[in-house]
């Protein structure tokens, strides 16, 4: 059956939107949120400002779309390896690969003009994590089922310890933590708190 004209148009529209979002991400990395403009994205994408305006009502929503797209392309997926330490290090490695994206999110949230345009932090958080599993919680609870970890020791502060540590490191340093530090977090901080005796 031949493809309808409307289907072709939708495909072209989706391709254009993805191309613009990719350009917006490149512009964010190059200029930062403060230096991002709809005009600079339109020029870099070889399109026009009105084309962008039909899809996004300003640079805040375009930047959020660009970040969301990057996150969607890099899901955190830690398979069951039968060993909690291996899985935790895998998790931290995958989060480290997201450091440029996480750093951009922190940068956007610290920008006054962004907060004025996109004032709802809970809504923003929901946008960024929608459809993403809590991989750290999954790893820890999988380890409980294997009797590697004592469930009674998994209080909320302990359960989120690694994600809090890596987020704080990226916020302060603007880059991913080195592998040796990630190993220390797992071996010297988290595991002694939760391992079954």
Residue 182: enclosing H or E segment and its boundaries? helix 179-184
The dihedrals phi and psi of 155, each to the nearest 5 degrees, come to -75, 160
The per-residue pLDDT for 16 is 87
Dist. CA 21–CA 152, nearest whole Å? 44
From residue 5, give the alpha-carbon distance in Å to each of 19, 55, 105: 21, 21, 38
Q: Are 59 and 70 in contact (CB under 8 A)?
A: no
State the first-to-last Cα distance of the chain, in angstroms, to the nearest integer: 65
Count the alpha carbons within 13 Å of 135 in the hemisphere toward its beta carbon.
Answer: 21
The per-residue pLDDT for 8 is 55
The per-residue pLDDT for 63 is 96
pLDDT in tens, the chain (197 residues): 455 666 555 557 788 899 999 999 999 999 999 999 999 999 999 999 999 999 999 999 999 999 999 999 999 999 999 999 999 999 999 999 999 999 999 999 889 999 888 777 777 877 787 667 789 999 999 999 999 999 999 999 999 999 999 999 999 999 999 999 999 999 999 999 999 76
**DSSP state, 56?**
-
Dist. CA 172–CA 175, nearest whole Å? 8
Q: Are 28 and 68 in contact (CB under 8 A)?
A: no
Q: Sign of the C-alpha dihedral, residues 50, 55, 57, 60?
A: negative
Residue 60: enclosing H or E segment and its boundaries? helix 59-73
Q: Are 71 and 101 in contact (CB under 8 A)?
A: yes
The per-residue pLDDT for 121 is 75
The per-residue pLDDT for 131 is 62
From residue 115, give the alpha-carbon distance in Å to each of 60, 102, 169: 9, 17, 23
Coil, helix or strand at residue 149:
strand
pTM of the model: 0.86
């Amino acid at each position: 059956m031949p493809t309808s004209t409307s289907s072709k148009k939708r495909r072209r529209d989706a391709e254009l939107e993805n191309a613009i979002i990719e350009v917006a991400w490149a512009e964010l990395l190059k200029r930062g949120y403060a230096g991002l403009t709809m005009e600079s994205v339109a020029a870099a994408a070889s399109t026009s400002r009105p084309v962008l305006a039909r899809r996004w009502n300003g640079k805040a929503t375009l930047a959020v779309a660009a970040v969301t797209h990057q996150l969607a392309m890099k899901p955190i997926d830690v398979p069951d390896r039968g060993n909690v330490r291996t899985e935790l290090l895998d998790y931290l490695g995958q989060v480290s690969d997201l450091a440029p994206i996480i750093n951009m999110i922190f940068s956007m949230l610290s920008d006054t003009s962004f907060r004025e345009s996109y004032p709802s932090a809970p809504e923003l958080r929901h946008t960024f994590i929608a459809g993403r599993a809590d991989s750290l919680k999954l790893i820890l609870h999988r380890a409980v089922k294997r009797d590697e970890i004592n469930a009674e020791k998994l209080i909320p502060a302990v359960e989120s310890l690694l994600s809090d540590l890596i987020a704080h490191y990226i916020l302060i340093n603007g880059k991913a933590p080195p592998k040796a530090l990630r190993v220390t977090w797992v071996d010297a901080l988290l595991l002694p708190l939760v391992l079954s005796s």
